[in-house]
Structure 1
């Protein structure tokens, strides 16, 4: 006859074997932050790559369909009066990127912008936050 203790050990042993292998410790950084990693900060707002991509995509969609939205008529040409060093040549276009992480469709544009080329290549993020007048600073 099997004792209760032996039965309990046998049951616990089978449960342990059914568990997945333990995770490595410490966890690899990419396991902790996969898609929600801050890649760019404008002022106190940290933007994810997916949010940046969505803003460029939305702005580029308007540009390619020859449409503009909002009182600032976005997207519009960004003249780069500040002289930022972008990878591609002008013309550049600016389009709002919002603190709500939703694509801009009109209304208040907030202080932050994505800058992209006519070919929809991201050049950088700029912000009015901390800049004087209507100037921009790089994020």
Structure 2
């Protein structure tokens, strides 16, 4: 069977950086392969979830927080979600505008990382009762 490199083109394009100013990865951050997430009616790209996770871990490592909600902060997983990595966990806003959270209103959606800097998942208040969360798809 002959190998046709043209069939790999869509996959190679996914691996090609799309920005001349890539977001630096803080020391120790181990990004898991992510396909993005849909939280309610908002869809986030892998680039957006990675950027929010990187910012969360950089702040966590520095021992600093942003906003009145002091993000990132401990996420206790009271809902009992199964994540891709073990905790303990930190939650950090991911904004539907595409901007990186810098202290403004956090909105409904969060990335979850563990304290080793690995991405755990994405959660949302959208559709949940009270202050609870639902897992994004």
TM-score w.r.t. length of structure 1? 0.73
Runs (5+) with no aligned partner, structure 1: 1-23
1:119 aligns with 2:116: yes
Partner of 1:109: 106
Match of 1:73 among 67, 70, 74: 70
Unaligned runs of 5+ in 2: 1-5, 19-34
The answer as to 2:132 corresponding to 1:132 is no
Shift of 1:95: 0.2
Q: Residue in 1 aligned with 2:56? A: 59
Q: Which residue of 2 aligns with 1:30?
A: 10
Where does structure 1 differ by over 6 angstroms across 4 or more consecutive aligned residues?
none
Q: Partners in 2 of 1:115 and 1:85 — Cα distance?
A: 12
CA shift, 1:88, in A, is: 2.3
Query: CA shift at 1:89, angstroms?
Result: 2.2
CA deviation string 1:103-133 (max 9, x = no partner): 1010100000000011110000000000000
| Higher relative contact order (CA closer than 8 Å, sequence separation 6+) | 2
Please give the alpha-carbon distance, in whole angstroms, between the structure 1 residues aligned to 2:57 and 2:88. Answer: 13
- Kept after mapping to 1: 8 A contact 2:72/2:91: yes
Specify which structure has the higher proportion of helix. Answer: 1
**Offset of 1:30 from its aligned partner?**
2.6
State the structure with more CA Rg: 1
| RMSD (CA atoms) | 2.1
Match of 2:93 among 70, 93, 96: 96
